[in-house]
Structure 1
Amino acid sequence: MSSLQKDLVAAFDNGDQKLFFDLWEGHVPNSIRDTDSLAQKLEFYLHIHFAIYLLKYSGGRPDKQELDERISYFKTYLETKGAALSQTTEFLPFYALPFVPNPMVHPSFKELFQDSWTPELKLKLEKFLALIFKASNTPKLLTIYVSFCKMLQQLHQQLVEAERRSMTYLKRYNKIQADYHNLIGVTAELVDSLEATVSGKMITPEYLQSVCVRLFSNQMRQSLAHSVDFTRPGTRSVLQLLHSKSEAVRQYMARLINALASLAEGRLYLAQNTKVLRMLEGRLKEEDKDVITRENVLGALQKFSLRRPLQTAMIRDGLILWLIDLLRDPDCLSDYTLEYSVALLMNLCLRSAGGMEDILRCFIKEGSAEMIRQIEFVIKQLNSEDLLDGVLESDDDEDEDDEVS
């Protein structure tokens, strides 16, 4: 047994709490004390040993001040390092020890005051010390030197990493500073242009485009570098991105189609191929997790419904029944989904094929004479194909914001 082991055992026998834990914390590696479950349990019981030492070995008349200090030390341990074992059933009763007036007579702590408890704990301590302080032929100076070399290597690695981060942050700072100066200049020009509009000088689209180029030149260059080349095989199937495994890709593809559908020219372009409509309908019915994708697909379909051919196709595909089923539980829908699904349903039902006439005739059965007269007039208007065609075709001729919503 080494001298260190003897000193630890002697401090244990004498109840010298301060000396014992100074040696314990100074020579038992942190890696063992913090991670080894056996070491943690042993340390917990060692704290109990020193906390009740005066109660067991002072003949029943312990010094109150010293006892209070030991109990306070044990309480501090429980609140700090010992808190890690608070969820262990084995140790849970001992967390009440500092608050019990007379632990010697308390049934929960009966085993602590048995004659066999301290010798058994001492034996565990000796075995633990013998295990971690095995005799080594390595000189202490060599151990210190090797440890110093490892520490020096770690510090060098940390320095290299810190320098790398410093260069990255410096580049970001320079970019932010350049963007700031550019933004200040563009802002001043825009203010001057806005003031010029008061005197009748209009802002041209070319000027706005040049401002956008100055503001977003870096982003534009990055976009061009990653732009789709439709001459390469496989790049024509852009619509397949609606079924991408990536949630972000599906979202932005749906956003793009929804944005195009917001313009009359965009609706005209997309309506040329019914495959777009079929894929949107399929995505709408399949998408149940990604709310953003479904909302944008629904918004695009609602805007498509402003065009008569697409209306006919959606009615034929049974979209009305799907919307009715969706709207059965409106509390589960977002405001956007509720608004656009109702608008889409109304646009489809305005057609005779959509069943609006049947719905109106249900109200005739129980309505007043005046109401019946008005409903019959509405039905007559619905059956007027010329009027309906004119209304529907005029929707896309108006401003893009004048949509059913």
Structure 2
Amino acid sequence: MLKKLLSHLENDNCGQFFKCWNELFVEERNKSSDVISLEFNIHLYFVTFPLRKSPPNKEEYRKRIEGLKKLLEDQGGCKYSTDVQLVQYFALPYVAEPEKHPIFRELVQKKWVKNLFENLSSFLANYATNIAETQDVLFQKWMTTYRLQYNELLEKKCRKLQYDYYRIVDIVNEMFNYLEQSNHELGVIHLSSEYMMGMKARFADATANAEQHMHANIALQEMDKKHNGLRKTNTNIKKKNRMIKNESNASVGNLISTIRSASSSLIKLKEEKEKKEVIVDNVIGRLNYTKIGNCLIKSASGRLSCLLLQALRQRITRIPIENAGQVLAVYANNDLLLLKHLKNSVVSVITSQGDNGNDAKEELCRLLNSIASFSSGRNYLLANNQGKELIATLTTALKTKKLQHYAGEHVLATLQKLSIRSSVQKELIKLGMVEWLSLYLGGKLSPTALDYGCALLLNLCLDPSGRSAASRVATIFTTTIANLISDHKLQVCTYINGILFTILGIAQIKARVKEINLVNTVKEKLNNHHCKDDEKQLPIIYKILNGGEF
């Protein structure tokens, strides 16, 4: 396997390499941090392979870098971000010439490739020696788990048999009572009292024998548990076992009444739960959403709109997450906010109101933030023309200061959640949000507004056009970032560090950074040990500011 992997690596055979690799590590949860780190470095090796050719194949590199970008956006970002050393390479898809970049140029050097081959060979050699011991341990664990599950299954079957037995006892007793009553009152069934007494005696003997067998089975199970040392930690199972033993020691009549009451209570609980679910579904489904939308538009600044918007939001926020998705689906199917009407939508009408509609604006923005917190909600908000009209309405309201205090904070949060999609990033950049945020983040803001504002700016800077927009206002942009870095009270370090990391490759920004001597500010903050994020991320930024020397 080692020879195969090294051969595929040397021959740039990415597909065959990862086929063999995944055979070694079938399940993701079995991969250690070392495996994940090595795996990501191998991805980087294959992506940058065309750049190590003579001459470099730029076209092939662009195809492969798109594949890496998709990998990080889909599931790789979360998996590989656990290693701090790997995070710096997440920006590789956004760097035009990595061979000239102070961080990424090592990827095209022979020294880095040699180290990768040595690390892979060493790791696989150690893995081969330890795999036999690991498999033995896993097999023992599997056998223990299998025995526990098998014993649990037997106990469940035993409890089911006991439950069925007591139910049959109940039915037979009712039959005896009915026969006896029919014989005495109606005289239709001619059975002598001696015959009835004999039948009851036989039934009582059979019941006693069955109970003795059940007692013996329970005792054997307990002996097996003690012999094997397999003690259950689940207290609920123990309580149920005790209850079954107590029931079997009681009289047949008491057992039947207990089972009757327990089963009836369970049936009632189930019926009540189903009834509540049906009521909730019926209420949500039967609402007249056209009437609600028209009411919100006609009373755009009134108390009725505030109450309606609050109630609609609480339908999402005060129920379990799995049910919230169903509610959002109903909202989307009925176009709750009339987004298809574009400039005549609920959002456009309410945000255009004056100061007397501030309460309604706040409730609307809270609702938008709640909807944007779900993937299905974001799909609804961006369904019409990729949400361009909605985004334009919200950004205009922010810039013209029509959304104050909490309303503005919730709109920032909404835009930040929507901006995880590249189409929204491009639209916000066109609308001048990079320039606006450069000024906005320099003011006195609440912690929430600052948090979502910085996160939104980071998302916009990930797009090449966002970095171009930042370069056009390099003076204001770098001044704001420098002020945010120097303020040790702020807890938005990871966003600010991310913004710096993405824009330091721009010539205008780099020149301005040198003018304001940002490297000293970064060094001072690094020496103060402000937070864990800074301790991990600032050394990389400091290295870039020093031209790659640290």
Shorter-chain-normalised TM-score: which range?
0.3 to 0.5
Give the structure-2-normalised TM-score.
0.27
Structure 1 or 2, whichever has the larger Rg, is 1
**TM-score between the two structures when normalised by the length of structure 1:** 0.35
Bigger helix share: 2
